[in-house]
Amino acid sequence: MTTKPRPATAYPNLTELPDPPPLPDGMKQRPHIARTDQVLRSHYRRQPNTLVSGEGYLCFEARDARRSPRPDCVAAFDLPFPAQLIEDANGYVISEVGQPPDFVLEVGSPSTGRHDYTAKRDIYARLEVREYWRFDPSGGQWHDVPLAGEVLEDGVYRPLPIDYDNDGLVRGYSPSLGLELHWENRQLRFWDPVTREYLPDLVEALEALAAAETRAEQAETRAERAEARAERAEEEARQLREELRRRQSRE
């Protein structure tokens, strides 16, 4: 498969693809897909021409859309034009974008699980997706494993190292994202090895903001109390000086 490079300033007229059908196991997949999308979008929000999206078609030619997979999450970096154009087109057409995605993630479900780690894996290899990851909330009941990542080498996917910790944590590093993916308590989390912290989701970010505001209010209250004590002390000192002057004048 070959793609034609585009000038960095060219904004193509991408083919608008049809609306994809709903997820077959939406209630099982939706929370994980939505959380992943929100967390990664927030993390890369200041990185220009970076796409984080999902559930739209991924195909080489637009005419192949209805026969193509719809990744639960797709990420692409250093795009030749704003990522919003791809989302507006309802999917990722590789021949029009000029490059395949760097990262694709599928969330396991009862009806799609086996297809994710068999036929769909082969499709993503043919589309030259650099990394393919699978996350199974059930811990391996729907996929073959709780968490798996593979990188494309010479047209074939090779497994990335996955560690199983004694406390039940399953983790692997994504070179494309520069992040670790963690399977923990049936949830998918993203660990930043630079900051050594988890990327927060929206709820955690709001809780952190509320905690910071509370700390700021508490600090402001302490400062106001300290200022009031200083004013009282200054007033007491002034009164003592006046009393001392009065006594000295009487003497």
The Cα 251–Cα 15 span in angstroms is 100
Neighbours of 159 (CB within 10 A): 11
**Who contacts 85 (Cβ-Cβ below 8 Å, separation ≥6)?**
11, 12, 14
Q: For residue 175, what is the DSSP state?
A: T
Mean pLDDT within 19-30: 81
Query: Could you read off the pLDDT of 140-173 as tens digits, one per residue?
Result: 999 999 999 999 999 999 999 999 999 999 999 9
Position 94 confidence tier, pLDDT thresholds 50, 70, 90: very high
Q: Of the CATH numbers 3.30.479, 3.30.70, 3.90.1570, 3.40.50, which one belongs to the domain with range 26-199?
A: 3.90.1570
**pLDDT score recorded for residue 212:** 55
Question: Comparing C-alpha atoms, which of 113, 198, 109, 104 is closest to residue 150?
Answer: 104
CB 232 within 8 A of CB 239: no
Residue 139 has pLDDT above 90, yes or no: yes
Position 213 confidence tier, pLDDT thresholds 50, 70, 90: low
Neighbours of 70 (CB within 10 A): 19
Mean pLDDT within 113-120: 92
**pLDDT score recorded for residue 9:** 54
Q: What's the mean pLDDT when you consider all of the chain?
A: 87
Mean pLDDT within 84-112: 95
**pLDDT score recorded for residue 122:** 96
Entry pTM: 0.77
**pLDDT score recorded for residue 134:** 98
* Domains of the chain, residue spans: 26-199, 201-251
Sheet holding 103-107, edge to edge: 51-53, 73-76, 103-107, 131-135, 147-153, 156-159
